[in-house]
Chain A
Amino acid sequence: MMVYPISEKYNQQKAHRFTMYLALMSITMAFAGLTSAYLVRKGAGNWVNFPMPVEFYTSTVILLISSATMHVAHISNKKGHPKMATLGLLVTIALGLLFAFFQYKGWQDLNFSGIYIDGNPAGSFFYVITGLHAAHVLGGIAFLLVALFRSYRLFFIKKESTTIINKKGEALKVRTDLLSMYWHFMDFLWVYIFLFLFFNLNH
């Protein structure tokens, strides 16, 4: 490993956060592309509307709560409460999975009511946009699992090796910081998608 002066190290960390903003921006563009395609296609007519599946209301609430628990994990980590942070991560992951489950139920529901992915584009767009969002949430969960594992492992480092704890704790702080940015963004993105679909399906 190279040894750099402190100030250079600090810059690296600042860069990490900024890097996450950029990643979120590119995700935004992908969904902006999809929703504008939705509008263009809808404007051309031959569009079969359907009601939003009820499960999606539940899943929205779940994702909102998970944002709060993610925040708890992030803050606890910053303040040096590893137990609380681990718990926060655990609950966030559970809620994330629950969200995915309700999304799945919602799609199933739609399928039962005769809205198929290969039917009218109104339905196809619905599946693709919500599906792509769910894929992003699952990706986030994968990284949350890694953070959970790291955070849990901190408990088992011998008390006297404080330097190791500090070092790993630092790395974890950066990790949860970035993850919480991502997670809140997924929440925000979902609210946007939900409202977008809600208003488009009802008008």
Chain B
Amino acid sequence: MVTSATGEHALSMIGAGGHHKETFITKYIFSTDHKMIGKQFLFTGMAWAVIGGLFSVLFRVQLAWPDETFPFLEQIFSNWFDEGHMTPEAYYALVTMHGTIMVFFVLTASLSGTFANFLIPLQIGARDMASPIMNALSYWLFVLSSLIMLASIFLPTGMASAGWTIYPPLSILPQASSGSGMGMTLWLVSMVFFIASQLLAGINYISTVLNLRTKGMLMTRMPLTVWALFFTAVVGLLSFPVLFSAAVLLVFDKGLGTSFYLSDIFIGGKALGYSGGNAILFQHLFWFLGHPEVYIVILPAMGIVSEILSISSRKPVFGYKAMILSLLGIVVLSFLVWAHHMFVTGMNPFLGSVFALFTLLIAVPSSVKVFNWLTTIWRGNIKMTVAAVFSLGFVSMFISGGLTGIWLGNATVDIQLHDTYFVIGHFHLVMGVAAFFGMFAGIYHWFPKMFGRFMNETLGYIHFFITFIGGYLIFWPMHYLGMSGVPRRYYDFNEFHAFNEYHDMNLLISVSAIVVFAAQFIFVINFFYSMKKGRKSTELNPWKANTLEWTTPIEPGHGNWLGELPTVYRWPYDYSKFEEGPDFIPQTVPLTEADIESDKRLLH
């Protein structure tokens, strides 16, 4: 390490590839380059999303055609079908793993993993993460965790089937469900590595943002993507350890016969050895993570969308500071609302009203953000790029799903709606589809930076419209089902007279789900085709954006900038029709006298 080599010497070395010789393995597999790790998270996440999506199609097929037989599905998934029918055990297992995969593996690990890795160093002007090794380790722990979860899918006794929230006693007692044997054990082992991976990653993101910003990159000049990813990491750092503790106690109950969560239980008239435990305790611990977790999923998408809406409407983000403060408000409040998932546990009504109050309060910062997105695009000259339409789609989904959150936040209303399809509709719009839209927007937008090529726009629009309309067709009707009392996690509604009349609605939902799932392959094909054959990116700054990642070479090497790190002089949202010159001023352009005088652009 030649620490004295500043100036010329260092620069020439960086320019010449900048680092020791790389083999295929060090470059593409065991890479410590944050950009490569980001892409690895993206690829792994795409694989998981396909599996998670496929699972949902399978159980929607069951709900739409409970009486039909599907011999061809039985041939592929022989474990889960019996005489052409999906078994009830398989149904629960598929629902459970769909939730686990989507919430944790795709929208937590891959969404944050992709964009925090790829964008944080590039947008704050750093060569890499604070600890590139820890960063690589976090990815490989994620792979390990993924492999274990994947293995559980092939167990003859079935995968975990107690729901993604793994409530005891269902998750502890193998007598309760065959998936609660080995399947649940592997789920827990996998999650331990997952949590370790998330903590390593999150610690690294926070440390990088706070310590490695380039000269002039004040916190108040950071792009909102970085702010959002930073807060996401903070939430994860404070909440995942509690899930770890909850899981440790669950493991002890499962393996060593302790009674943290289980009380006197009789099976077939025989008492099990448990006594004195408290199943509600698990729910408290789980939702202390679980609620912040939903914000871990949505915050990165919020950051991405804020950035893209500003760029594509060629206007400064409206209320930059309000955006940051509302993120902060969400972070704080998200730790104070967890028991709104537990209104029906017989909690003290006074306590319930406190949680209801905080829950409704969280709507305030959420609405501030929505308001600011709308005012950002208001009277803007919006360029409808694919990334922009997905961002607008995000806002639409977030509003639709957020409003129903306010219903659910009222304890009295929730007691009716809890565990019905209303809740499913709520969180899929506000979190599921919205977060996916944020992710798609980010991928379409930063694809040229990732792979030096553009994705096909036509395919992008087709992908968008099918997913957008299909998304609403799937999740909107669910609200009506829920209001009529149709419960979630039921395997066959034809068994119940009361629910027979909703069959057509279920059919509509299932058909839409199949179409939307199929449409995602348009994206996958577009993605891989464009990676190899897409239109080449020839300009440094194709979207005419202000942030630092567009000042690197088109395909930056390890270390990102060829010469010295860029210096930042201004906030990232100087988009406007200026008296002269282009309609944007990158962060690296020094302030003019006029700027300093008016102080306007600097301190928004």
Q: Which residues of B contact A40 (CB under 8 A)?
A: 278, 281, 284
Residue B127 is within 8 A (CB to CB) of chain A in the complex: yes
Q: Of A15, A22, A30, A128, which contacts B242 at CB under 8 A? A: A30
Q: Of B4, B242, B559, which contacts A6 at CB under 8 A? A: B4
Whether A117 lies near B241 (C-beta < 8 A) is no
Residue A167 is within 8 A (CB to CB) of chain B in the complex: yes
Q: 10 smallest A-B Cβ distances: which pairs? A: A30-B241, A33-B245, A15-B130, A33-B242, A118-B257, A15-B211, A29-B241, A124-B258, A22-B203, A5-B6
Known: A1-B20, A37-B245, A121-B259. A19 touches B204 (CB 8 A): yes
Chain B interface residues toward A at CB < 8 A: 1-6, 9-10, 13-14, 18-20, 127, 130-131, 134, 199, 202-204, 206-208, 210-212, 237-242, 244-246, 248-249, 252, 256-260, 273, 275-278, 281, 284-285, 288, 558-559, 564-565
Whether B559 lies near A2 (C-beta < 8 A) is yes
Contact flags A43-59 to B (C-beta < 8 A → 1, else 0):
01010000000000000
Between-chain CB contacts (< 8 Å), 15 pairs: A2-B14, A3-B9, A5-B564, A12-B212, A19-B131, A19-B204, A25-B237, A26-B203, A28-B241, A29-B242, A33-B244, A33-B288, A125-B260, A128-B252, A132-B248
Which among B199, B241, B244 has the highest number of chain A CB atoms within 10 Å? B241
Q: Which residues of A contact B9 (CB under 8 A)?
A: 3
With contacts A18-B130, A46-B275 known, what are 15 further pairs, Cβ within 8 A?
A: A2-B13, A3-B1, A3-B2, A5-B10, A6-B4, A11-B212, A12-B211, A23-B199, A26-B199, A29-B238, A30-B241, A37-B249, A118-B256, A120-B276, A128-B258
Closest A-chain residue to B131, C-beta based?
Answer: A19
Residue A16 is within 8 A (CB to CB) of chain B in the complex: yes
Q: Of B242, B260, B565, which contacts A121 at CB under 8 A? A: B260
Q: A17 to chain B: closest CB distance in Å?
A: 9
Q: Which residues of A contact B203 (CB under 8 A)?
A: 19, 22-23, 26
Residue A8 is within 8 A (CB to CB) of chain B in the complex: yes
Known: A26-B203, A118-B259, A121-B258. A4 touches B278 (CB 8 A): no
Q: Of A29, A33, A117, A121, which contacts B256 at CB under 8 A? A: A117
Residue A34 is within 8 A (CB to CB) of chain B in the complex: yes
In angstroms, Cα B258 to Cα A124, docked, is 6
Majority SS at the chain B contact face: helix
Q: Which residues of A contact B2 (CB under 8 A)?
A: 3
Closest A-chain residue to B282, C-beta based?
Answer: A37
Whether B249 lies near A128 (C-beta < 8 A) is yes
In angstroms, Cα B207 to Cα A16, docked, is 8
Q: Which residues of A contact B259 (CB under 8 A)?
A: 118, 121, 124
In angstroms, Cα B199 to Cα A16, docked, is 15
Known: A26-B203, A118-B256, A121-B260. A18 touches B211 (CB 8 A): yes
Known: A15-B131, A128-B249. A1 touches B211 (CB 8 A): no
